[in-house]
Amino acid sequence: MSDRPLILAGLTLFVGLVTTPIWHGALDRKAALTAPPIQLPAQEKQCVAPASYMRSSHMQLLEHWRDEAARDGRRQFVAFNGKIYDKNPTRTCVTQCHTDRKEFCERCHDYAGVSDPDCWNCHNDSQRTSRSAP
């Protein structure tokens, strides 16, 4: 078959492109496997859920809060340790604890390679820091 070299070249190119993340990570010296230092809240020691859960599922928790507060009028969240919180991301999360979104949210999002959260397009933080000006 005369097409063989052409097909093989195409296949190699395809496999190469698909595996970009792997070899890019291997070649890039800066990409480290250690978690980045993030700024933890000064006064609070415990989040509304264990850190491991928050790390993986904060988005689901926030979504759940939103649906319950807006649709069912249930605005109080009873945490695993019995503490009660307002389901209010602006007041409960951002103003009281995670005041620096650059050092907390975005640093970790960068590390994990997920796009920056757009919460602040609507939910206000007092500093109104905008990373990429809209």
Partner 1 sequence: MKITRKDFLRISGLGLLAVAGRKAVRAVAERTSERASEQTSAPFAKQVRWGMAIDLQKCRQKDGCDRCIKACHSTHNVPQFSDRAHEVKWIWKEPFKNVFPAAQTGYTREFFGNLPVLLVCNHCDDPPCQDVCPVKATWKREDGVVTIDFHRCIGCRYCMAACPYGARSFNWLDPRPAIATVNLDFPTRTKGVVEKCNFCEERLAKGLGPACAESCEEKAIVFGDLEKPDSEVRRLLRSRFAVQRQPELGTGPAVYYIV
* Residues in touch with partner 1 (CB under 8 A): 66-68, 70-75, 90-91, 95, 118, 121-124, 126, 128, 134
Distances from the Cα of 73 to the Cαs of 67, 70, 86, 93, 94, in angstroms? 9, 6, 12, 19, 21
Three-state DSSP at 69 gives helix
Closer to partner 1 at the Cβ: 73 or 113?
Answer: 73
Closer to partner 1 at the Cβ: 68 or 103?
Answer: 68
Residues 22-38 as b/e (b if ≥16 CB within 10 A, e otherwise) read: eeeeeeeeeeeeeeeee
Closer to partner 1 at the Cβ: 4 or 71?
Answer: 71
Residue 75 Cβ vs partner 1, minimum distance, rounded to whole Å:
6
Residue 23 Cβ vs partner 1, minimum distance, rounded to whole Å:
27
Tokens 């509304």 -> residue: 48
Residue 83 Cβ vs partner 1, minimum distance, rounded to whole Å:
19
| Helix and strand counts by DSSP (H, E) for the chain | 4, 2
Residue 91 Cβ vs partner 1, minimum distance, rounded to whole Å:
7
Closer to partner 1 at the Cβ: 24 or 74?
Answer: 74
- On whether the CB atoms of residues 68 and 87 are closer than 8 A, the answer is yes
